[in-house]
Amino acid sequence: MIIDGHTHVYPDSVAKKAIAGSPADLKRFGDGTVGSLTAVMAASGVDRSVCLGVANTPDRVDNANRFAGSLDPARFVGFGSVHPGLSPEENVASLRAHRLKGAKVHPMFQDLRLDDPRLHATFDAMSGEFAVIIHVGAAGTDPGERCSPAMLADIVRRFPRLDVIACHFGGYRRLDEAIETVIGLPVYVDTSWPPSLGTVEPAKVRAVIEKHGPERVVFASDWPMADPGAEIEVIRGLGLSDSDTDLVLGGNLARLLDLS
Give the pLDDT score at 127: 98
Question: Residue 81: what pLDDT?
Answer: 98
pLDDT in tens, 8-45: 999 999 998 888 877 767 899 999 999 999 999 999 99
**Is the bond into 88 cis (omega within 30 degrees of 0)?**
no
When pLDDT is averaged across residues 69-89 and rounded to a whole number, the result is 98
For CA atoms 17, 26, 222, 212, give the dihedral sign: negative
CB contact set of 156 (below 8 Å; sequence gap of 6+): 164, 182, 185, 186, 187
CB 171 within 8 Å of CB 148: yes
Predicted confidence at residue 26, as pLDDT, reads 85
Reported as type and span, the H/E element at residue 230 is: helix 228-236
Please, which pLDDT band fits residue 260 given cuts at 50, 70 and 90?
confident
Alpha-carbon distance of 190 to 257, in angstroms, equals 14
Q: Are 217 and 188 in contact (CB under 8 A)?
A: yes
pLDDT digits (tens, 9 = 90+) for 166-208: 999 999 999 999 999 999 999 999 999 999 999 999 999 999 9
pLDDT digit string, tens, across residues 224-237: 999 999 999 999 99
Pairwise CA distance, residues 64 & 210, whole Å: 36
What integer is the mean pLDDT of 81-98? Answer: 98
Residue (of 219, 229, 232, 192) closest to 39 by Cα position: 229
Give CA–CA dist 127/122, Å, rounded. 9
pTM: 0.96
Nearest to 148 by CA among 121, 187, 177, 183: 177
pLDDT at 221 exceeding the cut of 80: yes
- Residue 188 CA to residue 183 CA, distance in Å, equals 9
